[in-house]
Structure 1
Amino acid sequence: MLSKSLQKATQDYRFQIASYAILTFYGYFTIGLSLAVLPIFIHETLGFNTIIAGAVIGSQYIMTFFMRAYAGTIVDKKGPKPAIIISMICFILTGILLWAAFSNSSSPLLALSLLAVSRLLTGCGEGMVGASPINWAILRVGEQHTSTAISYNGIFNYSSMAIGAPLGVLISLHLGNWSIALLTTLVGLIGLITTINKKALYAMSKEVRNSFFSVLKSVAPFGTGLALAGIGFGTISTFITLYYNYKGWENAAICITCFSTMFVLGRFVLTGSINKIGGVKIALYSMLIESVGLLLISFAPTPFVTIIGAAITGLGFSMVFPALGVEAVKSASSANKGAALGAYGLFIDISLGISGPLVGLVAKQFGMNYIFPFSLILVLSGVVVCIFLQKSKRNS
């Protein structure tokens, strides 16, 4: 009887977490829809080079960077609900601007400008929704379930892109790019209605709130490891379609799907290992696995081997965010949890923001064959950071 009662309680808190993480799904589904389409549209339809394509896509993450701090402040002072409402409004506006950009493809500069603004709005939406559902879930089920909340949020995040990326390519081919814009707007609207109908929750801590930059400093060691690990994902998400075109291969979106599928599988299977083994150790092992995947992609002779490499990369990257995230949240007081998650999330935004133009520069200067070896070196640097973090933890 006790066992059944415990099992029911476990299912209940997981269901509660999932009911908030679905908001992440709505947000990142809209991002995933255009993920595999926009680089080709900018490079081939509009005629701009890979650096500009990477910079426009990467501008989303720069805006996300700036919005994370604001989102963390809103969450700690007013709760997560207002932040998510703002994010869904941004996704709705993104869809409208995408439609305008696709409709003006005969005027490349105008279309590119509209896309640039849409990416900034997408970044704003991502920054506001990024950690907010996690905080909302933690307020509902308790801090003891932080690792599960972070993991579930990532599951909904990357499963949304696993579905969204190939779906975006499919409807673009059969219906036209306008269909991506319409679906983006509709999903943002669904997310907005869902958020409005959920009960607002607030942190009741009486502890003093530290400045955001003080919180940022405390999570920076963990965020640095996350940022380096994120370069692998940034390279795949931004350049895999151009890489496939360079190789003369087809169906690049399958790589994103396999990456995201293995990412989700890793989160389901390995979430409990963080509390058992430790966040830093799990992150270190995860980056080593991610490195193996990038090594395979770097020297893959066929699309099939590239897909396997992308899947292994996704499995490796899957646990980096929650593993280091749990350690980052531990470094903050209860009055600064929202700011801590927001500050920690900044580092993945930095990673994804610079990976576009940086890897684009590598492609332009040395060739497309060098982009994944370059990413591999940076992820291995993340392994070194984790080794230092582990040593520091032992000495403390």
Structure 2
Amino acid sequence: MNSRNGSAWVNGPGAVIAKYVLLSFYGYFTIGLTLAVLPVFIHQRLGFNTVVAGGVVSVQYVMTFFMRAYAGHIVDSRGPKPAVILSMFCFMAAGISLCLAFIWASSPALSLALLILSRLFTGCGEGMVGASPVNWAILHAGEGHTAMAISYNGIATYSAMAIAAPLGLLLANNVGYWSLGVLTIITGLIGWWSAITKTALRGARDAPKIAFLKVLRLVTPYGAGLALAGIGFGAISTFITLYFIYRSWANPAICITGFSLFFILGRIFFSRSISTYGGLTVAIVSMVVECIGLLVLCVAGSHHLAIAGASITGLGFSLIFPALGYEAIRNVSASNKGAALGAYGLFIDISLGITGPLVGFVASHFGLNYIYPFSAFVVLAGLLICYLIKRPAVGGYTG
């Protein structure tokens, strides 16, 4: 009996999905390594202002935006495996660029250019790996496990960042900035090897395909809510280090860890609420919690309370992506799910892409103490959009 139960667990949908979303872990581990390091390095070491620092970080998300459609096309036509393999090559290239940028830190303009190149490679890698492991997992486990696949993928990505962010600071301070580039290259190699050893799968190729722009239109209402909610996460991941320095607090990376930890706990304990109460209801409640966390962060009088605020924000943001994603793709055919997930993912790219310059502008013109009240206001706007989408659904609209 124990043997059969163990075999069932190993071959069950959760274990199958975990094998694929581990690929997302590798990709987002490389992203998380520099989250708490780059803004400070650009602002304090290279001497550029907060707008430039935020803009360089956001270059990644601009590139990710442009790669989403291409990645969706590859997934739907050739399967997820080629997209994942290409993403790992991009992460390795990003690591090489990082090494060179840190080596030539004595030439600020050249170092900044290399950092931008690294962010472009990272954005390309994120765009290719963002939805590909999820599709791979769905193809193996079945469409009935779509919500589980999306939730598990989020656990993989944010646990990766929870580990990588403080590790990146530790390595930068005790080994040297160059070590971040080296570890990025090694992680990309591990991810590449993991991908090539897995069986290639493809969806139904005889089913009709929908033009990407039409798919984009279908998911836009839900994506808009996601984009506005993502500003809270973007403001924490990009500016929490500078905010802690401004408040003379230590250990800013713990905020990213706290955010990510509670994000993971939210996915583990509350993901079933999406199918029970509906994606829009869960998204609305989640945005309320996210706003509370951001407000706690902005009124915090100590770094302990700030960490608590970031953690509450992570709990709130936890279910927004799968909740709205569940609503966005549930009426899309299997042959178009790669494009639908890619199109939906565009909105978090837009969100994180504009967060750097937008919140950087708020910080430069009004002060760093205004960035989290501003972020909470934007998340409230996302909550309003979700409420407006839900209203016709209550009256009988289901599309």
TM-score, normalization by structure 2: 0.97
Contact 2:298 2:369 in 1 (8 A): yes
What CA distance in whole angstroms lies between the structure 2 residues aligned with 1:20 and 1:7?
18
CA deviation after TM superposition for structure 1 residue 392, in Å = 2.1
Instruction: Tell me, yes or no, if structure 1 residue 48 matches structure 2 residue 48.
Output: yes
What CA distance in whole angstroms lies between the structure 1 residues aligned with 2:372 and 2:177?
29
Cα distance change, pair 390–6 in 1 and its aligned pair in 2 (3 A): farther
Q: Which secondary structure does the structure 1 equivalent of 2:140 belong to?
A: helix
1:76-155 equivalences in 2 (<5 Å): 76-155=76-155
**Counterpart position of 1:159:** 159
CA deviation after TM superposition for structure 1 residue 171, in Å = 1.1
**Counterpart position of 2:244:** 244
What CA distance in whole angstroms lies between the structure 2 residues aligned with 1:391 and 1:5?
45
**Counterpart position of 1:66:** 66
Equivalent position amino acid for 1:208 in 2: P
What CA distance in whole angstroms lies between the structure 1 residues aligned with 2:132 and 2:217?
20
Equivalent position amino acid for 2:170 in 1: L
What CA distance in whole angstroms lies between the structure 1 residues aligned with 2:369 and 2:178?
33
**Counterpart position of 2:352:** 352
Cα offsets for 1:59-85 (capped at 9, x unmatched): 100000000010001000000000001
Extract unaligned runs of 5+ from structure 1: none
What CA distance in whole angstroms lies between the structure 2 residues aligned with 1:5 and 1:241?
46
Equivalent position amino acid for 1:63 in 2: M
CA deviation after TM superposition for structure 1 residue 305, in Å = 0.8
State, as a whole percentage, how many aligned pairs show the same letter: 58
Over the residues paired in the alignment, what is the CA RMSD in angstroms? 1.4
What CA distance in whole angstroms lies between the structure 1 residues aligned with 2:207 and 2:90?
32
Q: Which secondary structure does the structure 2 equivalent of 1:48 belong to?
A: coil
CA deviation after TM superposition for structure 1 residue 205, in Å = 4.6
Cα offsets for 1:8-55 (capped at 9, x unmatched): 369611000000000000000000011101111000000000000000
Equivalent position amino acid for 1:150 in 2: I
Tell me which stretches of 4 or more aligned residues in structure 1 moved more than 6 Å. 4-7
Equivalent position amino acid for 1:249 in 2: W
Cα distance change, pair 180–139 in 1 and its aligned pair in 2 (3 A): same
Cα offsets for 1:92-115 (capped at 9, x unmatched): 011110000000000000000000
What CA distance in whole angstroms lies between the structure 2 residues aligned with 1:186 and 1:9?
31
CA deviation after TM superposition for structure 1 residue 173, in Å = 1.0
CA deviation after TM superposition for structure 1 residue 303, in Å = 0.7
What CA distance in whole angstroms lies between the structure 2 residues aligned with 1:243 and 1:9?
44
Contact 1:218 1:331 in 2 (8 A): no
Extract unaligned runs of 5+ from structure 2: none
Instruction: Tell me, yes or no, if structure 1 residue 254 matches structure 2 residue 254.
Output: yes
Cα offsets for 1:106-143 (capped at 9, x unmatched): 00000000000100100000000000000000000100
What CA distance in whole angstroms lies between the structure 1 residues aligned with 2:151 and 2:10?
15
Q: Which secondary structure does the structure 2 equivalent of 1:199 belong to?
A: coil
Equivalent position amino acid for 2:248 in 1: G
Contact 1:20 1:137 in 2 (8 A): yes
What CA distance in whole angstroms lies between the structure 1 residues aligned with 2:226 and 2:10?
29
**Counterpart position of 2:195:** 195
**Counterpart position of 2:366:** 366
What CA distance in whole angstroms lies between the structure 2 residues aligned with 1:299 and 1:60?
30
Equivalent position amino acid for 2:150 in 1: I
What CA distance in whole angstroms lies between the structure 2 residues aligned with 1:7 and 1:274?
28
Q: Which secondary structure does the structure 2 equivalent of 1:47 belong to?
A: coil
Contact 1:294 1:373 in 2 (8 A): yes
Cα offsets for 1:351-392 (capped at 9, x unmatched): 000000000000011111110000000001111111111112
Contact 2:9 2:15 in 1 (8 A): no
Instruction: Tell me, yes or no, if structure 1 residue 331 matches structure 2 residue 331.
Output: yes
Cα offsets for 1:139-197 (capped at 9, x unmatched): 00100000000000000000000000000101111111111111000000000011011
What CA distance in whole angstroms lies between the structure 2 residues aligned with 1:17 and 1:101?
36
**Counterpart position of 1:39:** 39
Contact 2:204 2:334 in 1 (8 A): no
What CA distance in whole angstroms lies between the structure 1 residues aligned with 2:139 and 2:369?
46
What CA distance in whole angstroms lies between the structure 2 residues aligned with 1:327 and 1:19?
25
Instruction: Tell me, yes or no, if structure 1 residue 173 matches structure 2 residue 181.
Output: no
Equivalent position amino acid for 1:131 in 2: A
**Counterpart position of 2:233:** 233
What CA distance in whole angstroms lies between the structure 2 residues aligned with 1:262 and 1:13?
24
Equivalent position amino acid for 2:84 in 1: I
**Counterpart position of 2:309:** 309
Q: Which secondary structure does the structure 1 equivalent of 2:12 belong to?
A: helix
Equivalent position amino acid for 1:362 in 2: V
CA deviation after TM superposition for structure 1 residue 6, in Å = 12
Cα distance change, pair 195–11 in 1 and its aligned pair in 2 (3 A): closer
Contact 1:134 1:149 in 2 (8 A): yes
Shifted more, 386-395 versus 110-119: the winner is 386-395
What CA distance in whole angstroms lies between the structure 1 residues aligned with 2:303 and 2:316?
20
What CA distance in whole angstroms lies between the structure 2 residues aligned with 1:338 and 1:205?
12
Equivalent position amino acid for 1:368 in 2: L
